[in-house]
Structure 1
């Protein structure tokens, strides 16, 4: 650490460092790599070391080669020189053996290199924060934030703008408020040894559960290393009043937010699973409820891939009508950069053929921008058309209650089931209406929008020329799909709200309150694909837990 850097200079360096983050780990590493190499070669002759690597941001091969060819030899020289210098200066107390071991004429070079090396170390901490939060998002333990994948080859290289600016504000706050390297060092020391202790505890679980070793080996590992690290943690806790308290406050705040978000997310998911209705409710019981079919296509966006989501059954119960064609759409992210168009859509049938209800699972990679495309609706309809034409050759899909899912790729431009025709028209036979205000009804909290007309390009479809290979029933179903599309399209989104049951304890109320705050102030769920506001219906439900 550098003790004589002025606070304004430190703040300027921090701001510049965080401003670089949006370029991604690959480009930043290309800039910082020469600095680390020069620093390591420099200190190999005077003592101490620095090695920072985000394991999720680099390949195993690159880390192994770098450690064997450069890091390890430098460490051997480094520790040998450091031990030799200390052995000759045993009588000196309270001195920095790293800076004192540098020859006087190289002192300015050392200061500059150490400052740059500290920036590299900070960079490793920042990228590690991005990786950890990205993993927490996958586990449902962190509020929604925007994640940008900066590499189409390495999954772990991510950039999170919201977290980047939050870390910058926190870093500037610590630098300006503490203004003392000793206080910052106390917090840093507690963070480092706490991380070591947590890593040891998790490693013992890996030994017992993942490696399937003897439980005694896992316990011995935990006791041997954990005891030493627990001593370090206890020593650092003695300095909690000297600056380490700041780290404890941040830990409690972040832990509370993560716990509240995970609790609320799990409760909503459990509610969705418990309150989803079977397909038979819609196909068999709905006629008895007086449900009518109206012309058009209804897209229902849901996270579940079986059954009917609770919000849609709530809508049908209060307003007994749904469209001539229903399509349940779900998005599933895969840990790959891109999903080939030929493997993108999974299409299946829900209920008997005459009900015209389909299910579509859209698979996408972390570098795909499938949700931002203007032609998403057209791609779904064309994929369902391909499914209808392929279904005749798959007897299992015709007999399965939920329908067997068939992989349907992106149809060819000429089309084999539905032929697209470009037509500049307004959506739903009229204009598109960008939203300008919200109106909520008391029944089901259905959100509608009063909007202004704007033209957009719409793709129409027609059947291919008569072919003896296409059965009459297939042509009829495809024609019904085209007619439904011409009649209009509506999009259904569920908006759930958590409410605490009367008599609940304080902890439960506090967690739900924290979750609600994060949900309202976080980013919107990534579902919409430039959905026309005039065709959007949001169905609200209150989940009492």
Structure 2
């Protein structure tokens, strides 16, 4: 009866099946390319700050010898080529759902017949995807912490006397970053692209300078050096992959952010700016280390002379890492909204920070939880090198899951033959499993952090999804056939239900409009029958409203609202929302009333909501502990009034006790 059930049952099944049906993206391609540099490539673009450093840093790295450097650079180049260029840009980004990308959008492309028929069951495909989505939150926690910390550590290169301020300054920058989230990114977003253009130009320029001094480093383009590296180091070489993966950790973001810019601008930005700059800088760092292996502690900041140049590079790096962090934080907001709309998480407060762009949102609960987690990580690990041990497991786990679900979509949705889809899957998994396995070796050095975050969120998502399904089923059993309700309303006896065997005066109809939210669009909802039984009156105009979350990111305005007249001033209204859309119920109802000539005065409408009290006893179907967790989540969820933008002075809540 509450918002738990009022949002509608499960996602619909009318998402675009296939690829190439993206929605339009406003603006010239060149403008979108520059904007994508700031939003999409922030994470992967700041990897040069720490990726190669972790491969040669003691105690787990390898010595900066000629063969080791060429082997590492070869691994970097071919990882970028095979994972980002080949896997994501060439294949994974074909799997768009109405133009949107990301692991939850990929789930929406899975055919309905592969999903469990019982709503209280998850199914292996859905379970795997939600676990991958949960792991992305772990990545979202670590990325701001490691990126900003690694940038500020550049001060230590200028002078060791500044080392004591590295952690406090990092925390101040992070606090400032999270504090301004409520203002939105519309204003500062205009400078994101140009700053990142400068960043990538600096990366490329520094790399060219050192490659010119030691051109022999270009031999690392030959994959034979990567093979020799593994042959020489054996098990230790495999473990080093846990640091090599840092160069591709932003790959999943390319897919997740596809809906903001489109596939073409992202591809052009990658080939035209990002990949050349990254490869040149990594090779430049390698050339520096071949000439000065003693600089292994901070190879990136050692590429400029100590003094003013170092401070300028630290300032630019800090700006770039703030931008990278902004992209991850915004991604966490979008992921939360998608998960909420698809029924995997309870409602949260979503504030729109732009009148022009719907995707710019702010979620206070997620923002401050991420902030607290980032600060805890910075204080706990204190060095980017130690924090790097915690980085990688989450994103490589999600990368592997993306490969598997892409195979399912290619085979079952697009109809690819096995001989076309299976070799791709195996090739993807060679890299995904190698990186994931190498990162598992760092589990006890900090890798457990994102895994714990992922597992906790996965359990919460599964409990919420199952609890909602059981709750919906319990209320489904309480609904009254609309014919019986109409008979009871007229004072006629009915044979079953809450009105059975009763003859009474017809229910009084009073002026005004009543809106009842329900997940069942076919029958009289419990909150409506509850109200009539106890108050013995009903408004003259009644709207029975169901909001359903579709598997498509957006529903066109022409299909958004469906109205059916039930007679005697009763109207059934079905509102469909995509998982990237906001549901402003008063506006949508006013629009529907205007189209269908329904009396609707916004100042004379009462919204009736249900409010469940969950008992959480051992007698319920869920069990005491899961129901207790579900109850806690429900109590802390954003109210239906806030979620649907209902005016509080027009809302009436009716309560009921339930044991799941």
Mean CA deviation greater in 75-84 or 126-135? 75-84
Partner of 1:328: 543
Q: C-alpha distance in 1, partners of 2:412/2:324?
A: 33
TM-score (norm 2): 0.57
Of Structure 1 and Structure 2, the greater strand share is in: 1
Deviation at 1:179, TM superposition (A): 1.7
Residue 359 of structure 1 aligns to a residue whose secondary structure is: strand
Change (3 A) 1:537 1:137: closer
2:636 is the alignment partner of 1:521: yes
Residue 522 of structure 1 aligns to a residue whose secondary structure is: coil
Partner of 2:570: 357
Higher relative contact order (CA 8 A, sep 6+): 2
2:183 is the alignment partner of 1:23: yes
Assess if the C-alpha contact under 8 Å between 1:343 and 1:408 holds in 2: no
Q: C-alpha distance in 2, partners of 1:236/1:367?
A: 36
2:347 is the alignment partner of 1:144: yes
Q: C-alpha distance in 2, partners of 1:367/1:237?
A: 37
Q: C-alpha distance in 2, partners of 1:189/1:336?
A: 29
1:305 to 492, 512, 521: 521
Assess if the C-alpha contact under 8 Å between 2:611 and 2:656 holds in 1: yes
Specify the structure having the higher radius of gyration (Cα).
1
Q: C-alpha distance in 1, partners of 2:358/2:649?
A: 33
Assess if the C-alpha contact under 8 Å between 2:289 and 2:295 holds in 1: no
Change (3 A) 1:46 1:278: same
Partner of 2:450: 247
Partner of 1:231: 434
2:411 is the alignment partner of 1:294: no
Partner of 1:408: 596
Within 5 Å, which residues of 2 pair with 1:32-431? 32-47=192-207, 54-75=257-278, 77-78=280-281, 81-82=284-285, 84-85=287-288, 94=296, 96-102=298-304, 106-152=309-355, 154-284=357-487, 287-288=492-493, 289-291=502-504, 292-297=506-511, 299-303=514-518, 304-316=520-532, 318-319=533-534, 321-323=536-538, 325-330=540-545, 332=547, 346-350=562-566, 353=567, 355-361=568-574, 370=584, 407-408=595-596
Residue 143 of structure 1 aligns to a residue whose secondary structure is: coil
Mean CA deviation greater in 97-106 or 232-241? 97-106
Assess if the C-alpha contact under 8 Å between 2:521 and 2:546 holds in 1: no
Q: C-alpha distance in 2, partners of 1:307/1:64?
A: 50
Partner of 1:493: 609
Change (3 A) 1:33 1:159: same
TM-score (norm 1): 0.68
Deviation at 1:119, TM superposition (A): 1.7
Q: C-alpha distance in 2, partners of 1:362/1:140?
A: 16
Q: C-alpha distance in 1, partners of 2:353/2:289?
A: 45
Q: C-alpha distance in 1, partners of 2:267/2:299?
A: 30
Deviation at 1:306, TM superposition (A): 2.4
Assess if the C-alpha contact under 8 Å between 1:56 and 1:131 holds in 2: no
Assess if the C-alpha contact under 8 Å between 2:354 and 2:360 holds in 1: yes
Assess if the C-alpha contact under 8 Å between 1:183 and 1:244 holds in 2: no
Residue 258 of structure 2 aligns to a residue whose secondary structure is: coil
Partner of 2:143: none
Structure 1: segments with no counterpart, 5+ residues? 387-406, 412-416, 421-456, 460-488
Partner of 1:539: 654
Residue 319 of structure 1 aligns to a residue whose secondary structure is: helix
Change (3 A) 1:161 1:331: farther
Assess if the C-alpha contact under 8 Å between 2:394 and 2:451 holds in 1: no
Within 5 Å, which residues of 2 pair with 1:450-529? 491-499=607-615, 502-503=618-619, 508-525=623-640, 526-527=643-644, 529=646
Residue 391 of structure 2 aligns to a residue whose secondary structure is: helix
Q: C-alpha distance in 1, partners of 2:632/2:445?
A: 33
Residue 136 of structure 1 aligns to a residue whose secondary structure is: helix
Assess if the C-alpha contact under 8 Å between 1:56 and 1:157 holds in 2: no
Mean CA deviation greater in 355-364 or 30-39? 355-364
Deviation at 1:502, TM superposition (A): 4.5
Residue 144 of structure 1 aligns to a residue whose secondary structure is: coil
Residue 390 of structure 2 aligns to a residue whose secondary structure is: helix
Change (3 A) 1:20 1:80: same
Residue 328 of structure 1 aligns to a residue whose secondary structure is: strand
What whole-Å deviation, never above 9, does each CA across 1:292-325 have from its counterpart, x for those lacking one? 2214046142133322112323444x53833262
Change (3 A) 1:327 1:362: farther
Change (3 A) 1:79 1:183: closer
Q: C-alpha distance in 2, partners of 1:339/1:148?
A: 22
Q: C-alpha distance in 2, partners of 1:531/1:112?
A: 47
Change (3 A) 1:501 1:520: closer
Structure 2: segments with no counterpart, 5+ residues? 1-149, 157-164, 209-246, 494-501
Deviation at 1:93, TM superposition (A): 9.3
Partner of 1:486: none
2:188 is the alignment partner of 1:14: no
